[in-house]
Structure 1
Amino acid sequence: MSLNLLKTAKQIDVMATNISGRQNVHLEKIKKAINAINQFSIENFKQLKNEKSNELSFVVPTIVEHPKNRYSTTNKIYEYCVMAVDGSQIEMDRHAPTTCFLINIGTCTLKYGNAAKSIFSSTPILYAKNDELVIKNELNYSERLIEGDLLAAKRSVDEIKFLGKLLKKSSAQLPRICLLDGSLQMISLKGYYNDEIVLHEFIESGMVTELNKIKSIITESTNTVFASYISYPNSTDIINALKLTSCQSESIKCGRFGNEQSCSECIGGVLDRELFSTILSPGERSSVFYASENSLSEYYQDHRIMFFYINVNNEIARIEIPQWIGENSKLLELLHSLILDQCAKGKGYPVSLMEAHEQAVITNADRKTFITMIEKTLHHQNIPIYTSMKNHSKNLRWL
C-alpha cells in the first residue's frame, strides 16, 4: 500500500502548529545570541576555554579576532579561471547481483575574460575488486566495508584528487579558484567505531596527501585559492563559543532537546548562520576562525581547517579553507572576491559548483540502468546471477 496522504496531512498540520509555537522562543534566543556576541571578550573566552577544556560537552573553535568583525571587498576581478568538482555515488547493495559501488565525479572549468572557455566532464569510477571494497586492518585481520560514512569519505578523497588534477593542468596566468562542495572536515569518521587504519586511509593517505599536492602548486603562485563551499550550513561553532561565555549551563543539551530546563541566557538551538544574518551585510564576510579541535585534528597535520561566513545576498554561506589560505591576507581577499562573483553568476550559489553537480548527479533511472547493465553483462558471460528473494519480490505483484 502506498503512503496514506490524508493521515500524513493531519500530522503535518500538528507539526506546523508546533513550529509556529516555537518561533517566538527561538527569536528570543537569537536576540540573546546577538547580545552575547556584543559582549564577547576574546581574553575571557580563552581563559574559560582553558579552564573548562576537560569539562565541556561541546567543542568550541579557536578565535583570534572578534567574531563580530566584518570585512568587505572592492576587488572586482573580470578575468579568472574557476575549477569545481562534485561527486555522487551508487552504494553497495546486498540485494544486487554483485558487490560493488560506483563514484561519479563531475568537473567544471570556466574561464572568464577575453579567452572565455568552459569545459565539463563526468567520470564514473567502478570499485568492484575485493581490495577496493574494504579497509583491511592487518593487525587484527579485520575488514570494514566501504559503505555509508566510509563511502562518503572515499568520495571526498576522489573529489579532491580530481580537483588537484584540474589545477595541475591549468595555467597560472589568470587568477584561479578551486572549489569543492561540502566540508573539508571528515566529521563522519569521528567515532569509536573507526580505528587508526580507517583514519589513516581516508585522512592522512587520502585527504592530506591531496592537500599537500594542491598546496605545493598554490605556494608557487600568488593568485590561486582553494576552498570548500557549504550552502545553508547548520554549524554552531560560534554559538558554542558564545555558550561558553554566556550560558549558565555547560551542557550541549541546554535548550535543545526539550528534556532539560533552559538557563536564563540559553542560546542552544541557534545556528551560526542565523546569528551572522543579523551581522553581515550583502557581500561582507566574517572574521576567520580555526575549526573546533577534535580527535581528527592531528591527522590533518599542517592543513588545519579554518572557516568564515559570508553573505552572498540570498543566504549566509560557510567557507572552509586550509590554514595556509586562511592565514594569508592576500589570498583571503582574492577568495572573498571570487566567491562573491561566482555566487552572483549563479544567482546565490557558485555557478561552477552548480555545473559540476549537474555533471555528477546520478538519477534514479541511472541507478536502475546500472543494475540492468550488470545483470546483462554477467548473463552474457555465463556468470550465475544471485539476488535476494526480497529484491525478487519487488518485481512481482501478487494481489
Structure 2
Amino acid sequence: MQQQTWRDRLGFTAAQPLEPLDTRIDLTAAPACHTVIATDGSQIAPSHHEIAYCYLINVGRVVLHYGQNRHPLLDSLPEVVYRPEDLYISRQWGIRTEEWMGYRRTVSEAVMLAELGAAGVGSGEWGVGSRESGVGKRESGVGSRDDFSLADPPTHSPTHPPTLAMVDGSLIHWFLEPLPAEARDRILPPMLEAWEQLRVHRIPLVGYLSAARSGEALNFLRFHTCPYIAPDCATHCTGQTDQAPCQVFAPLRDTALWGLLLEPGQRGAIWRSSAKILETYGDHTVCFCYVHMGAEIARVEFPLWVAEDETLLNIALSLTLTQVQKGYGYPVALAEAHNQAVVRGGDRARFFALLEQQMIRAGLKNIGTSYKEARKRGSIA
C-alpha cells in the first residue's frame, strides 16, 4: 500500500511481489518435444566517409526443434535503411541517427520473433520471413503501425509442441522514457503489437538477463526499514537516496540474496516491476523472477499475461532452464541468434563493396569514399 501511495515521492524503484517472499519452487523438466525461437540484432552504423550514407540492421533468427526430427532454422535477415525520410526522421526530436538505428533494431527483433512464432503455430513451417517477405524487404521502415499490422491468427494445432520465444536482455526498454511522445509512438506500439501476437498464439515470451545488476526486489525491503512514518524520500532524504537510513542492503544486488535462498533448478517469487516506462505497456507490463540456473542466478523477465497463466509460466521457465543447461551456462538459442546476427569487420567491408558495385551498375557516377577513408585503407606507413 505504501508503495502505491508514495511512488511519486520515492527516490528508488521497488518491484511489487506477487507471491510470498519466501517462495521457492522446483522447476519441472522440459517436455521431450518442444521448440525454442530467438532473435538478436546487430548493425552497421552510417558514416559520411563511406560509399553511401546508410545503415544496415541484421536480425539473427533461430528456431530449434527438440524431439521432433526437424531441421533447425539458423539465418539472419538484413535491412538496409537509405531513404532520407528514414535516415533523418529522428532529427526532428533531437535524436541522433545512430541512436534511432538502435531503437529500430529493437522493433525489428520483436516483429521477427512474432512472425516466427505465428508461422510455426499456424502452418508448422518455420521458413517465414524469407528474403521476399521479411523485415529486410520492408521499404517504409519503422514508423507506421501499418508496416507491422498482424494477420488474422491461424488455427491452432492440437499437436503443436510447447514453444518459447526468447530475447537477450531486458524487456523493460528504459531508453523509451526520455523520448518525446511522438518518437516513442514510432517504437513502442509495433513492439507491443508483436508481443500481442505471441499472446494470441500462447507462446510465452522471456527476456534473459545474465549477471543481472538490478536491485528492484531488494528495494522493496526498504519500505520495512524506513525510520519515518511515511516513505517520503523527496522530503526526508533529498539528495542522499544512496546513503538513506533505509539503504541497509547497499551495495547488494538481487542476485546476491537469491543466491543464498535458491537451490539449482529453483525459482524465487514473481515480482512486478514498477519502472515508470511500464505505465505505457498496458497489459504487457513486465514481471520477473530469479532462477538458479546452476552456474549463476539469472533474472528472467516476462509479460504479465505469462505470469498470470500457470501453464505458460511453467513452459517459459522450464524451457529457459533447459536452454541454459544445453548451452552450458547460457541459452543455446540466444547464443546462436547472436552468432547469426553479429556483423564483423570483414562483413562491413564486403557490405560497402557490394553497395558500390550495385551503385555503379545503376549508372551512378563519381562513386567513392572520402579522402580520409581512402587514406586509412591504403596507408603506406
* TM-score under structure 2 length normalisation: 0.79
Deviation at 1:53, TM superposition (A): 2.2
Cα distance change on mapping 1:383 and 1:265 into 2, 3 Å = same
State the distance in 2 between where 1:61 and 1:209 align.
Answer: 25
Residue number in structure 1 paired with 2:300: 319
CA contact (8 A) 2:90 2:96 kept: no
- Distance in 2 (CA, whole Å) between partners of 1:354 and 1:398 is 39
The one of 269, 275, 280 equivalent to 1:293 is 275
Name the structure 1 match of 2:130. Answer: none
Match of 1:117, SS state, is coil
How far apart, in 2, do the equivalents of 1:79 and 1:70 lie? 26
Distance 1:112 1:95, change over 3 A: same
**What's the offset of the Cα at 1:106?**
1.0
C-alpha separation between the residues in 2 aligned to 1:331 and 1:76? 12
Please give the residue correspondences for 1:11-160 in structure 2 after superposition, counting only pairs within 5 Å.
46-47=1-2, 49-135=3-89, 142=92, 147-160=97-110
Corresponding position of 2:144:
none
Provide the C-alpha distance between the structure 2 equivalents of 1:159 and 1:178, rounded to a whole number of angstroms.
11
Distance 2:350 2:68 in 1: 42
* 1:207 alignment partner, one of 187, 191, 194: 191
Identify which of 158, 174, 194 aligns with 1:187: 174
* Residue pair 1:181, 1:230 contacting (<8 A) in 2 also: yes
Give, as a single letter, the amino acid of the residue that structure 2 aligns with 1:367.
R
Work out whether residues 134 and 143 of structure 1, in 8 Å CA contact, stay in contact via their aligned partners in 2: no
Please give the per-residue CA displacement for 1:72-100, whole angstroms capped at 9, x wherever unaligned: 12344111111111111112223333221
CA deviations 1:126-178 (Å, max 9, x no partner) are: 111122224369xxxx3556634432221111111111111112144211111
After superposition, the CA RMSD in angstroms is 2.7
Gaps of 5+ in 2: 125-156
User: 3-state DSSP class of the match of 2:27?
Assistant: coil
Gap change, CA 1:388 and 1:274, over 3 Å in 2: farther
Displacement of 1:55: 2.1
Q: Equivalent residue of 1:267, what SS?
A: coil
Residue 342 of structure 1, CA deviation: 1.1
**1:351: Cα distance to partner?**
0.9
Helix, strand or coil at the partner of 2:219: helix
Matches within 5 A, 1:256-271: 263=245, 266-271=248-253
Matched with 1:309 is 290
CA shift, 1:327, in A, is: 0.9
Q: 1:166 aligns with which of 116, 133, 137?
A: 116
Distance verdict in 2 for CA 1:71–1:253, change over 3 Å: farther
1:214 Cα deviation (Å)?
1.7
Aligned counterpart for 1:277 among listed residues 243, 255, 259: 259
SS at match of 1:319: strand
Distance 1:384 1:234, change over 3 A: farther
**TM-score, normalization by structure 1:** 0.76
Q: Secondary structure at the match of 1:52?
A: helix
- 1:241 is aligned, of 220, 223, 232, to 220
Q: Tell me, yes or no, if structure 1 residue 341 matches structure 2 residue 322.
A: yes
Partner of 1:25 in structure 2?
none
Specify the alignment match of 1:21 in structure 2. none
How many residue pairs get aligned? The number is 336
Amino acid at match of 2:303: P
Given that 2:36 and 2:163 are in contact with CA atoms closer than 8 Å, whether structure 1 keeps it comes out as yes
Q: Which residue of 1 aligns with 2:337?
A: 356
Provide the rounded CA distance (Å) in 2 between the counterparts of 1:230 and 1:133: 31
Query: Offset of 1:253 from its aligned partner?
Result: 7.5
Mapped to 2, the partners of 1:153 and 1:67 lie a distance apart of: 35
Q: Secondary structure at the match of 1:213?
A: helix
Q: Does the aligned pair in 2 maintain the 1:58–1:252 contact within 8 Å?
A: no
Deviations 1:175-204 (A, max 9, x none): 11111112222111222xx21111111002
Cα deviation for residue 362 of structure 1 reads 0.9
Residues 275-302 of structure 1, C-alpha deviation per residue, up to 9 Å, x if partnerless?
A: 22122111111111111230x2232121
Distance (Å, rounded) in 2 between the aligned partners of 1:334 and 1:252: 44
- Distance in 2 between the 1:387 and 1:97 partners? 5
Matched, 1:227 2:199: no
Render the CA deviation track for 1:216-264: whole Å, top value 9, x for unaligned: 222xxxxx422121222122211222234336694697596xxxx5758
Alpha-carbon distance in 2 for matches of 1:252, 1:364: 48
* SS in structure 1 at match of 2:337: helix
Match of 1:176 in 2: 163
- CA 1:175–1:199 in 2, change beyond 3 Å: closer, same or farther? same
Q: Distance in 2 between matches of 1:368 and 1:166?
A: 30
Letter in 1 for 2:336: E
Aligned residue for 1:277, secondary structure, equals: helix
